[in-house]
Each structure stands twice: as structure tokens, then as C-alpha cells.
Amino acid sequence: GAGEAEARPGVAVAHLVREQEAEVRARARIEQELRVAQLSQKQFLPKQLPDLPGWHVSAYYRAAAEVGGDFYDFIDLDGGRIGVVVGDVTGHGVPAALVMATTRSFLRSQAPRAQGPSDVLAQANDFLHDDIPQNMFVTCLYGILEPETGRLVFANAGHDLPYVRTAAGLAELRATGMPLGLMPGMRYEEREFQLGRGDTMLLHSDGLAEAHATDRSMFGFPRVKDIVSATADAEELIPDLLTALHGFTGAEWEQEDDITLVTIARTAVTERVLGEFQVPSEAGNEREVMERVAALVSDVGIPSRELERLKTAVSEAAMNAIEHGNQLRAELPVSVRVVQQDGRLAVSITDKGGGRDIPEPETPDIEAKLAGLQKTRGWGLFLIKNMVHDMRVTTDDVHHTVELVIDLERARKEAEHAGQR
């Protein structure tokens, strides 16, 4: 009937209104989910970067509109070592953010207890495999850095290879392993790399290399490698990569995937030789050595208490070199070299008494000393070691060298601290 035909548009409109309302609700829910995911993601990124003397660390992270599951982390381990993590969870939205959070907290809890990187990844893989939604997995690189030596031990669960710019050219750090959560019982290859002075390492997720320009061409790994190779200043590497990316994709670019970039660079050595001289091995010449060293370091800014301690150590080491090393033979010189290197001051004192065993700086037994049972050289070394921040003893067939080291930053901090008391 006619009434039905007239009612139909009203029904259709009501239907459309309901559809609109449902869509608005769905969109609001999705936006809410994204906010939760973005919040959890921000929550899990490190609040601060490790402050490592002699190293420069920087990081950049930008989520795609959809929120992916990229993450990076630094974990303090014993002996001053640092665990370094970069990872990428497949998929987007809340599930990816949750898997990312779970993976990160698992790695944080296991890293201090595990044997090494391959052990950590194998445990994480089994843990995730039981828990992770079907068709999701995590790529992850985990390395342990010894800042003192530059040694990096690492394992890789299917993540993009780190690139290192070295004096000899670009190195790719390869180690095989399946992504986490795909199959239980996986083994991960553990490899080692020595980061030298001036080397810069880039850890990255594929959001950078797989970014597309408007013509669908891809930024690509070769381009990333070229930029790492070409950038001499570590602090410029992330800005250079981002500048190149924006130039490549153009202003209208819609970011498809999270971008994570972490650079870890070992600063180049800056060495300044403050002076070198020799004295004949005659009794009393340790005073001359002490005074000349004090004059050479006068403008370095060593606090006075530390300088007095250094003078005592230098005088003691020079006396050892003259009396024990060169056995008071005036024709044999004691050589002294004073160097400032990366915030450290090193005084090397060399004699011709090589080829003989060097006693360890044992804790002296006063009674044994007085009874003449303990060798005096060990006694001197014990005293010297306690006067400076570091002491290194080296010997070859001819020479015997004692190197005394003062960490200038530490000396200043200690002086400030002493001043406050």
C-alpha cells in the first residue's frame, strides 16, 4: 500500500542513523584503544639513556599512526655491563603493544640471571611461544656491551642487522636465529664484535629501510648503510638518517610502520703528550722525577689532595725503578712519559728490569717486612696502588713499566665531596 512506500524512506534514514552511531562508537573505541596502546608504548620506552664515559648513546622512536610494537631498552648488568635490546612485534594496535610490553618485561627480568644473549633469547622464545596470539611473533636483537673494553656479545632473533662504521669500513653484525614465539626449542647463535675507538653502531627497525616514497619505491637497506658509512660524527647519524628519509618520502608521507633508531658510539681517543724525559739511575733522582711530573701536570686541573697522592706514587715508583729495576746503575736511564687521554692522566715510569717476575701488589705484612721476609718491591706497589685510581704493570724481556692513572673527573668529584664534608 501507499502507506508502506511512504514509510520506507523513514526506515532507511533510521537505519542509516543507527549505522552512523555504531560507526562513531566503534571509531571512539578504536581511538581509545590506540590511546591506551600509545600510552603503554611510551610507558615502556627508557626514561633516560645510559650515561657511559667514553661513549655516546642516542635513540629516536616514532610510532606509526596505527601503533606498532617496536621497542628498545637498556638493562644494567653486573660489572658495569649494559644489555641493549631492540625489537619489533608483528601487527599493530593493542595486541602488539601488549606483546611488546610482555617481551620487554620478560627480557628485563631474565637478562641479569641468564648466561648470555643466546640464552636470554632462547628463554624468551619459549616463554612467548606458549603465550602469544597465533600469527604474531617478535624480532629482537639482544647484545651485552662491556663499556670498558668495547666488547659486544650479541644474538639475533630475526631482527635487522646492526651496522657499524669502523675505520676499516662498514661492518654488518650477523647472527642467525628465528623470531621469538614462532617455534619452541630454538637455538640462537652468539657472536662477538669489538667496537674500537671512533666506531659507531646503528641498531634499527625496518620502519626506516621499508619506508615507501609516493612512487612506491623503497628507502632500502643499501641507503641506510651508505648514510652510516658517510657520517663521521656519531651525534649527526640519527639526524642525517631522518633528513634523508624526509627528503625521500616527501611532505605528504603517511608513516606505515614504527621507526626505531639507536646509536651507540665509542668516542675517539684524544691523546695529548704532556712530556717525556729520562733520568740516570742514581739514588735520590726520584725527587727530580716527582718535581718534573708535578710541573708537567700543573695546568691539567688535578685537585691538590690528588696531586699530593700522585706525587707520592710517582716518587715511590721512580725509586723502585732506580733501585730495583736498574739496580742503581747510573748508565741505565729511567724513562718517564706523561699523557692526558680522554679525561684520564697517565704517568708511565719505565726501567730496564724486564724479564723478571713482578710481584703482585700484596697486602704487606708489617712484621714480615721488618724481619726482611717480604720483598720491598711488592711493598712499594701496594703503596702506589692505593695512591692512584688505577695502576698497570707491564714487563717484557728488557723493560718493566708501571703506569699510574688518575681519572680527572673522579678526582674532581672526590675533591668536591671532600670539600662539602
Question: DSSP letter string over 160-221?
Answer: PPPEEEETTEEEE-----PPBTSSSS-----EEEEPPTT-EEEEE-HHHHT-B-TTS-B--H
Q: Tell me the pLDDT band of 147, cut-offs 50, 70 and 90.
A: very high
Taking the alpha carbons at both ends of the chain, their separation in whole angstroms is 100
pLDDT tens-place string over residues 10-57:
777 777 888 888 888 888 877 777 777 666 666 778 888 998 888 999
Question: Which of the pair, 280 or 353, is modelled with greater confidence?
Answer: 280
Q: Tell me the pLDDT band of 94, cut-offs 50, 70 and 90.
A: confident
Task: Please name the residues in contact with 158: beta carbons below 8 A apart, sequence gap of 6 or more.
Answer: 137, 139, 140, 177, 178, 179, 180
Q: What is the rounded CA–CA span in Å between residue 353 and residue 62?
A: 60
Q: What is the rounded CA–CA span in Å between residue 5 and residue 12?
A: 11
The predicted model gives 88-101 an average pLDDT of 83
CA angle 356, 368, 374 (to 5 degrees): 5
Is residue 354 within 8 Å of 335, Cβ to Cβ? no
Residue 2, CA distances (Å) to 11, 13, 20, 257, 273 in order: 15, 18, 28, 56, 104
DSSP state string for 47-76:
SS----TTEEEEEEEE--TT--EEEEEEEE
Residue 314, CA distances (Å) to 271, 304, 330, 386, 404 in order: 21, 15, 19, 12, 8
The predicted model gives 192-216 an average pLDDT of 92
Is residue 194 within 8 Å of 151, Cβ to Cβ? yes
pTM here is 0.62
Q: Specify the range with the lowest mean pLDDT, choosing from 247-251, 376-380, 396-400.
A: 376-380
The predicted model gives 398-412 an average pLDDT of 91
Q: Specify the range with the lowest mean pLDDT, choosing from 85-94, 223-232, 270-279, 395-404.
A: 85-94
What's the pLDDT score for residue 20? Answer: 82
Task: Please name the residues in contact with 405: beta carbons below 8 A apart, sequence gap of 6 or more.
Answer: 344, 345, 346, 388, 389, 390, 391, 392
State the Rg of the chain over Cα: 31
Is residue 353 within 8 Å of 325, Cβ to Cβ? yes
pLDDT tens-place string over residues 206-241:
889 999 988 889 999 999 999 999 998 899 999 999
What's the pLDDT score for residue 379? Answer: 57
Q: What is the rounded CA–CA span in Å between residue 174 and residue 163?
A: 9
Q: What is the rounded CA–CA span in Å between residue 200 and residue 229?
A: 9
Three-state secondary structure call for residue 276 = strand
The predicted model gives 356-370 an average pLDDT of 55
pLDDT tens-place string over residues 292-314:
999 999 988 899 999 999 999 99
pLDDT-above-90 percentage for the chain = 55
For 300, list phi and psi in degrees, rounded to 5.
-85, -20
Q: Which of 110, 228, 115 shows the shortest CA–CA distance to 172?
A: 228
Q: What is the rounded CA–CA span in Å between residue 266 and residue 264?
A: 7
